[in-house]
Amino acid sequence: MTAQPRKINAEDLLTMRFVSQPQLSPDGTLVAFVSRWINPKKNRYFSNLWLVPTDGGEPRRFTVGDYGDTSPHWSPDGRRIVFISDRSDSSQIWLIPVDGGEAGLLTKLEEGNIGSLAWSPDGTKIAFAFRAKPAADRKAEREAREEEHRSYPPRVIRRAGYREDGTGYNGGERWHLQTVCVETGEANQLTSEDYDDHSPAWSPDGKTIAFVSNRSEDGDLTPGCQDLWLIPSDGGTVRRLTKQSGHMQNPVWSPDGAEIAYIGHDRPDEIWGVSDPHLWVVSVENGEARDLTLGLDRPVGHHTLGDTSESEVGAASLIWSVDGARLFFLVSDRGSCHLYSANRSGGEPIRLTQGAINVCSFSADRGTRQLALQIGSAIEPGDVYLLSARNSDESTPSRLTDLNREWKAKLSLSTPEEIWFDTYDGKKIQGWIVKPPDFDPHRKYPLILEIHGGPHTQYGNAFFHEFQFLAARGYVVLYTNPRGSKGYGEAFTGAIRGTWGEPELNDLMAGVDYVIDQGYVDSERLGVTGGSYGGFMTNWAVGHTDRFKAAVTQRSVTNMISMAGTCDVQLIGDRTYFPSEVWEDPTLYWKLSPLSYVQNISTPLLILHSEGDLRCPIEQGEQLFIALKRLKREVEFVRYPGEASHDLSRSGPPDLRLDRLRRIVEWMDKHLQ
């Protein structure tokens, strides 16, 4: 007898499969992809490569073991797959034959980070980016210190960008380009100057590599000053290609070698993310660039948030058609992310996928006859799909995998209801409501408002385990895209430039009132939570209204003055976003700080923060906690240990992710149920 579906719980996160990085084989018969999972006993994430036939066969595990196997890339002849794995003492590049056999170690790099694998057109070399770990942090040095009872040496800091959330502190290490010979394993470092170089792309003849680099006087303080550069594939003098600096990523050569496509914008002073990335092509001969999505008014790339997606927000897949006439790319639009194509010669881009979906990444076969897509939705964590590229504007993607089939069959999930509501000035705002699985329209439910971070990202049609979990515990969950969000045009995104707080709060409360007016929410049992910028807005909300009876602020910003010097990215004080540096007008930054309104906070507040958070350092939470304790308000402070970074809710240690979910619901239950 088949068991009835049950409500989702926190521990269901531990049994999910997270699918990503679909890579279609050159002949179009197989898709390699990454499947990631959690081992609860080891409290770790592991991932392996899988293969699925495009003719509808069952997917199968291709690599095995408790490792982190990622970034699969097919060789040009389709006989081998290169990937990154930690199956040795450190992350290295590995090769595995497709027709059977063991994976072989290709590189012997120092401990560090590897990225941007790219096969040479003839299949003899692989280009990649590498950044070594600081010497003091490497395993051999750590063990020697312990044996000799030495302290960790002092850090000497000379760069503004001396640390990075999720990675930690660095010394003088930079991202540099290397190539490695597939047959011999011989490595050749191509760049070595004091700059970060990444995203290598081979020219069709294999003689040149294009890459992205910020070679301005102080790139840490001018992160928007990137350019495309060219270097001979065997090494030599670099040449700047682009004439106008800006944000750039993912260069890809046209099949004829005449142009390079990339994703970005031409506003080097715009570093906060208000300006939408566009699709560009630049002439290799003269460096003249053309914007192919000038009139789109939507961001190119994947900008939808989720807590189970393996795709980075802002990631941007980009592929040329084999004849060089078209380009395929992603666009984020009103809560969804879709596949688009654009003609090289210009014209209006065409959307190739439809519906309330989240396309996270894609790839193509050698002839761009088919496309493999990673697609998820609000009730689907994400799987591999296949789409015909020849008639893609008329085709529907066919599903190739369903790795969470058994997981979903056990659960009663709630399908979010899309809503549009009017805010204070008549502007339409998009949002979604998740109701309890056993929703009774005649009951009155407590409501939890979820506020997204960024601020320039979007909520939408991506799976959120957290939202489903809260709904299963008897809450109506509301999540919206207020002003400042991506996906509604640059004017909408830029509406909060330098004026954080009030515009968004009006939009958010209009959404709350809209749901209350539906008749099934108890207006006296309202909760609010959010992380990062969503934590800022949670703090701002409880400092400006007493309508919420419980709040949970996570990895939040409280004091804009201290945040300006403690965040790992040097953004606050940028005069294109905020009108002055902190020391020039501290009054402005204090006015924008939720801490300045702390005396108004009467809502019971739970503060969640991680000691390893370098994006919004824990001192932000500390200041708010002490202020509320001195004011004798109801407050609790949970400090997660150093192994938890800013992304605790998405990629933190599994046991701490569960602890976080339990604490949120316990706090809400205490005050709202």
Low-confidence ranges of the chain (pLDDT < 70): 1-2, 391-394, 571, 573-574
Q: Which residue has tokens 């350019």?
A: 227
Q: With CA atoms as reference, report the closest residue to 177 among 234, 216, 261, 219.
A: 234
**DSSP single-letter state for residue 461:** S
Which H, E and C letters describe 82-133, residue by residue? EEEECCCCCCEEEEEECCCCCCEECCCCCCEEEEEEEECCCCCEEEEEEEEC
Confidence at residue 1, expressed as pLDDT on a 0 to 100 scale: 52
Give the relative orientation of helices 502-516 and 533-544 as an angle to the nearest 10 degrees: 70
Active site residue 332: no
Report the C-alpha gap between 190 and 188 in whole angstroms.
Answer: 6
Confidence at residue 172, expressed as pLDDT on a 0 to 100 scale: 84
Report the C-alpha gap between 37 and 396 in whole angstroms.
Answer: 29
Full set of structural domains in the chain with CATH: 412-672 (3.40.50.1820)
Report the C-alpha gap between 352 and 337 in whole angstroms.
Answer: 11
Query: Counting Cβ atoms within 10 Å, is residue 154 exposed (0-12), middle (13-18) or buried (19+)?
Result: exposed
**DSSP single-letter state for residue 571:** -
Is the Cβ–Cβ distance between 672 and 470 less than 8 Å?
no
Confidence at residue 2, expressed as pLDDT on a 0 to 100 scale: 61
Confidence at residue 570, expressed as pLDDT on a 0 to 100 scale: 74
What's the full length of the chain, in residues?
Answer: 673
Confidence at residue 575, expressed as pLDDT on a 0 to 100 scale: 77
Cα–Cα distance list, 571 to 50, 215, 375, 553, 581 (Å): 40, 18, 32, 22, 10
Out of 91, 646, 649, 671, the active site residue is 646
First to last CA, the chain: 35
Confidence at residue 312, expressed as pLDDT on a 0 to 100 scale: 74
DSSP states of 502-549:
HHHHHHHHHHHHHHHTTT-EEEEEEEEEEETHHHHHHHHHHHH-S--S
Confidence at residue 313, expressed as pLDDT on a 0 to 100 scale: 75
Confidence at residue 56, expressed as pLDDT on a 0 to 100 scale: 87
Confidence at residue 574, expressed as pLDDT on a 0 to 100 scale: 67
* Strands (DSSP E) found in 456-520: 476-481
Q: Which two tokens stand for residue 123?
A: 């299949």
**Cα atoms found within 13 Å of the Cα of residue 173, Cβ hemisphere only:** 21
Cβ-based neighbours of 61, under 8 Å, separated by 6 or more: 35, 48, 49, 50
> Which residue type, as a one-letter code, is found at position 424?
Y
Kind and range of the H or E element at 446? strand 445-451
Residue pLDDT, tens place only, 158-198: 998 899 998 899 878 999 999 999 999 999 999 999 999 99
Q: Is 3 helix (H, G, I), strand (E, B) or coil?
A: coil
Report the C-alpha gap between 304 and 311 in whole angstroms.
Answer: 9
pTM equals 0.96
Cα–Cα distance list, 665 to 67, 136, 475 (Å): 33, 41, 10
Q: Is 283 helix (H, G, I), strand (E, B) or coil?
A: strand
Active site residue 532: yes
Confidence at residue 4, expressed as pLDDT on a 0 to 100 scale: 87
Residue pLDDT, tens place only, 496-546: 998 999 899 999 999 999 999 999 999 999 999 999 999 999 999 999 999
Q: Which two tokens stand for residue 594?
A: 């939720």
Q: Which residue has tokens 């709630």?
A: 414
Cβ-based neighbours of 386, under 8 Å, separated by 6 or more: 31, 54, 370, 371, 372, 373, 397, 398, 400
**DSSP single-letter state for residue 534:** H
Question: For all residues of the chain together, what is the average pLDDT?
Answer: 95
Out of 25, 332, 532, 556, the active site residue is 532
Q: With CA atoms as reference, report the closest residue to 603 among 666, 659, 527.
A: 527
